Structure formats: C-alpha cells, structure tokens
Amino acid sequence: MLPDEVKNAIQRAYRQLLESKGLTPRYGQRLMIAEIARSLGEIGAVKDEAPDELEDERGDHCGPICVIEAGTGTGKTLAYVLGTLPVAMHLKKKVVLATATVALQEQVTLKDLPDIKRHSDLEFTFTLAKGRGRYLCLSRLDLLLQGNASLNAMADLYGEVITPPNAQSLALYERMFRKINAGEWQGDRDDWEELLSDQEWTPVTVDNGQCIGQKCSNFSNCCFYQARDEVQRADCVVANHDLVLADLALGGGVILPAPQDTIYIFDEAHHLPLKSNNHFACFTRIKGSIANLDQWRKTLVKLLADPLLEEKRTLKRELPALENALTMADLRLNEVWPVCEQILQNATPDRQGDQPLQHAFAMGVIPPTLQELATALNGLFTQLANVFQEVATELKSNIEAGQSLESRQRAEYWFPVTGSMAARAAAAQKLWQNFAMNDPAGTAPWARWLALQDSGNALDISLSCSPVLAASTLQEKLWRVCAGAVLTSATLSALGKFEVLQMRAGLPERTRYHRIASPFDYGKAASFIVPKLHCDPGNAQQHTDAIIRLLPRVLDRQEGALMLFSSRRQMQDVLEGLPREWREIILCQDDYQKAQLLKFHRQRIDRGDPSIIFGLASFAEGVDLPGKYCEHVLIAKIPFAVPNDPIEATLAQWIEQRGGNAFMSLSVPEAAFKLVQAAGRLLRNETDTGRITLFDERIVSKFYGAAIFDSLPPYRREIFPAELLSDVRK
C-alpha cells in the first residue's frame, strides 16, 4: 500500500505540471500513473507485510512487475516518471529508465525530465548513463600522443585496438587533450564538437577487458569512472536496454545501481526479449579465428622478448602449453572448415535479398562430428582464455608493483593487448562450449546455425548460437533480483493478449498487465484500405507486379507517404518497376541513412514538393512523421517473420514438438503485432488524418485474417474498393 504522503506527492506534482503548462488531464495518463504507483507500492510488502506473496512460481523473490500497453497519445513518459519516481524516492530506491533507441534516450534526458522538474515540485537528480566505449581513455590518448619510436613499434600488437595516428588524427587527439585539460570536454564521444568516425574514435577508447581500473595512472581523472560516480549518485538514471543487459551480465551494480536497489522502467519494452537474446548470443568465424591464433602467437613472442618488462613468470611457465594449445586449435579449426563447408553445400539456398547462405540445425542439435570438434575447441580456447587472463592479471599487478618506472609503463602498455586477447578467446570459447553441449530436456533449445560470410577479400564461415527465448536469462538476472519493474510501449500485446510477451520475456505469474486505449478517434481519423490484387503474396513476382500496377492509382502526389516492405528485394523491384515520374519522388532506405532520409522528406514536404519514403522494418516503428509529413501509410504485406530466421525457426520447431501450433501461437500473433506497429505510423497526434493501404488480401480471405484485422485499432474499413477493381490483372 502506498502511504498517503506518496499519493499526495504524485497528485500534487501532476496537478502543478498541468497547471503550469496549461494542459488538461488525460484519462489514460492518469490511469497509467495510478496503476504503476499501485503496483510499485507493493515493494514495501517484501519486508513489512506478506513476503510469501512476492515470490514467483519457483519460490524465488520477485519484485512487483507492471506491464502497461499505452496507446499513442497517452503521454507515457510523464506517466511512468510520475508513477515511479516519488515511490522510488520514498523507498530509497534508484530508478533506471531504459529506452531502446538513442533518439528517445536523448528526448527523455534533454527534454522530458527537465520539463517535469521545471513544472512540478518534484526534487530529483538525473543523469544519462553510457557504456565504457562511449568515453575516451586518457591512458590510450597519452600513448597516442607520445609518438616515440618504441611505442610506434608496438602498434602492430594492437591491430584494430590502436593504430599509429597520421598527422590529421594526431591534430585531432591533441585538440581532445587540450579541451579535456581546459575542462571544456568530459571525454564523451557524443559531446564532441563534430561527428567522430569509428576509425578516429576506436584508438582512444577501451572495453572492459582492456581497462586497468583503479591501478591506472589516470584513474583519478578517468572520464568513464567520473561519469559512473554521477550515475551512482543520481535518483534517476537514463540508460538503454543494451547497457542494462550488459550490467546484469556482469552481476549487476557494476555500471548501474545494484538491481535489488533499483526500479527499472523499460520504455519500448517489446524490444527487451530480442535484445536479451542478442546480448547472450555467441558468434565466431573459422578463418577469423585462425588469423587470431597467428596474431596471438606473434604477440606472445614479442611480449616475452620485451627487455623493459620485468615480470613474465606466468608467460614463461605456460609458454610450452600455450604453444601446444595454439597449434592444436589451428589444426582443429582447419578440420572444422570442411565439415561446415559440406553442411552449407547441402543447405537449401532459401535466401531473401542479400542474406547469406546459411544452415540452421533442427532443434539446435549439432551433428556428432562437429560436436566432437567443438568439444575439443572448447577445451583449447578455455585454456587460452585462462592463461591470457593470468598474464593480464600479472601485468596489472606489475603496473602497481614494478621495480622500475619503465617496467610499470611497459606493463600498462601491454595490459590492453593481453586483455583483448583474453576477451576474444573467451568469446570463442563460449561459442564452442555451446556447440559442444546438449540442451537440457524440457527446456527451450538454443538456436545454432552456420552462415557463409563475405569477409572482404575471402569467404569465411561463421558459427552462431542464441537463446530462442529470453525467459531464463531475464528471470535469473532481472525479474528475481530487481526491486520492481515497469514495462511499457504503445504495442505490447498481440491479438489482444500478452501471452507472447510473457513467453518471450519469462515474466513471472504475478505480473500485472494493463491496456490503456489511445485517445484518438480512429474511425473518424483514418481509413484502412485493402485493394483486390487477385494474387497471393506468397508468389513474390505476381505480388510485386500487382503492387507496381496499383501504386500510381493509390498514391496521391499531394500527400506525404510512407511505404513499408518486408523484403528488400521486393522494395527494390517495385522501385525499379515504377514509371520514372514516380521514382523521382521516392526516397529509398537503401540510398540514405535513416536520419538523413527523414530530413530530406520533411524538407520536400515543407517546400510543397511530393515525397514518398520506401522503407523496411526499421521504418515501421520509431518513425514520427506527424501531420502533412505522412498522410498515407502503405504496407506491402502482412509482416510475417522471415521463414529462414534461425532463432524463430528453432522456436517454432520446439513449439510444434510440444504439441502446439507454431503458426497460430507464434507467427500470427507476431505478424499482428508488427502490423499494428506499421499502421501506427499514420496517426501521431489527435489532429492527424489519413489512409492506410495494405496490399495483402489474406487479411480478409484467410482463416487467421479476421483475428489480425480485429487486433488493429478501429479504423474505417474499405475492402476491395470499386475504384481499384478495374484492370488490376493486366
């Protein structure tokens, strides 16, 4: 139960904010605030009231979790901040507000939170959290600026980690040094005065395995650790999903506040399961690994021969075993290549667009020959990773305890090299370990697959694995340890239910779910049109031809339009098949970066020129084109998942094996979810109007179509309009 003082604080803050900005209360917004606050109010019950009620079905502690689907126009950001922050501050908990996109992260930090603080009486601090790779490493900058011959001679050891700077780069790094010394820059890549390329930035940053931490001579002035100190002090930390997952993978509380002391808000929460899968996935390349082995061998020789480095006990002791492990790993990788090559040669070339040739193992089961090689490679890369880590640890100690200044400096220079070697070996080891193992009975399998990759000058074969469900990882690392959580987005349910989200994210049984309708009058604002095409979208050529014939009749050159495709190949074929006068006004995703394309589109519309965007799935969400910028959304077909996606294919096989119907329990709900998102690009505020056209008759002709159609907002429906019936089959 929420104390009256917290309720009053929330009500007062909301009232003051509305009065200050001259706004009227929104029913959905008020409801969202109330549901979040009521749910999080149970956190106190853990120690005060009924702890047994706050355990999940397995008996583990589980903080309250509230899932809210809030339609466009609800005002979600204000609602979840006011519903969460006063409760958290009362309970002396931190708030981590995680978004899925950089754009929303910046909006929350630069606009929404300052606005809430300015117009209400809430007193709170907030900051933006970023990963280590967004901050400059002062030691690495020092190394680049010293420029003496001995350091330049070491540059080849770093490979992509550090490259001797040319005159232009050196001028850039000197400018960075001056601005840091003058207090004009805090080492944040995103705050630099101009856009920095990866080639410019990579040499001056490090990852976790390359950072010495408190032993570093620049620790007291470290840009990353100073930012982290601010993160630990703030009441509200704005992060992204990936950073939260990275922190949880490290045990929690390493980068962000400790999970048990944190209430998490996940905006755009539908991304969380996929991002979790990606975060815990593993990947390696065969020829790339062979090249790494060769580089490691050369590096170890140079490390051993360095006359200025005093302490080399571990390396001297382990060198014979290391040389043997490197040789055996090379032999085993060369044995793996023909095995994988044969598997790929027998694979069905079911590719779409520019996707690589690949083979997903049924139910993630690896054939015995490859599994035996994986077992051997798991042992070898485990040995390499362990010894590399021992060498790195010894160097770390030598940084502090070396007898001479030269030795301490040399150890500091070598540490990032060995740290990087240990990290790469550990990453490869995780892949081989996964390929060597059998999934426990009764649990969802991992997806495992091979793919032929073009790695520049030569072909390589990649091996990948991924969980098919984020359930186990999120349960273990998040839901069972956090103080509480709020998950929200405009679209979280599928076919009106939250079952798919619950399955993918492993949400506990006692999770509370709410759907808050958008304030928009969909029936008045928009029509949903399904033209008669006389073809099945499964026949790609016929479907593409039908779209090409119909588009000039459906489009209005006076309207800003967005057309969404599920296939890059179809997008390109439609573009090429249209008359020249239409191609000239189309902005295609393949031709521009997303932000640049949207900018060009808005500029055209502002000038009164016609403009149409052709885009893929990334344009079906997170794209905000209100008013005249988008008065017509066109969707090529119902967005079913790509049939050769290894993760989805493995999940479908598992569902079928358990007696389920993967198409109805997985494919149809996911397609409905994506269609709702795509159609949602049209109405972005309460004054928007327009049309949505779907070039897919299956929504009215197939048995599953009605369920998908009914999951959409209540647009006016125009099925097979007469003006589009004539000559469609010519």
CA 30 to chain centre: 30
> Using CA atoms, how far apart are residues 490 and 76, in angstroms rounded to an integer?
9
pLDDT winner (highest mean) among 135-149, 426-440, 637-651: 426-440
Which pTM value belongs to this model?
0.87
Domains 4-125+234-277+471-516 and 522-724 share a fold: yes
Residue among 427, 464, 466, 380 nearest 209 (CA): 427
Mean pLDDT over each residue of the chain, to the nearest integer: 89
Q: Which two tokens stand for residue 52?
A: 């047994």
Q: What is the mean pLDDT of residues 641-665?
A: 92
pLDDT of 482 > 80? The answer is yes
Q: For 8-145, where are the E strands, in sequence order? A: 65-70, 94-99, 126-128
CATH number attached to the domain at 522-724 = 3.40.50.300
**Predicted pLDDT at 52:** 46
pLDDT tens track for 167-213: 888 899 999 999 999 999 999 998 898 888 888 898 888 887 778 78
Of residues 509, 505, 442, the one with CA closest to residue 476: 505
Topology annotation, domain 4-125+234-277+471-516: Rossmann fold (3.40.50)
Task: Report domain extents, the chain.
Answer: 4-125+234-277+471-516, 136-208, 283-465, 522-724
Q: Which of 139-143, 283-287, 687-691 has the lowest mean pLDDT?
A: 139-143
pLDDT in tens, 427-452: 999 999 999 999 999 899 999 999 99
Tokens 């993918």, residue located: 504
Residue 349 is predicted with a pLDDT of 60
Q: Are 159 and 181 in contact (CB under 8 A)?
A: no
DSSP label at residue 73 = T
Residue showing tokens 């032929």: 452
Tens digit of each residue's pLDDT (9 = 90 or more) over 18-53: 999 998 899 999 999 999 999 999 986 644 444 444
Other Cβ atoms within 10 Å of 723 Cβ, number: 9
What angle is formed at CA 11 by the lines to CA 9 and CA 14, rounded to 5 degrees? 105
Task: Give 114-119's long-range contacts (Cβ < 8 A, gap of 24+).
Answer: 116/13, 116/17, 116/78, 116/81, 116/82, 118/20, 119/16, 119/17, 119/20, 119/21
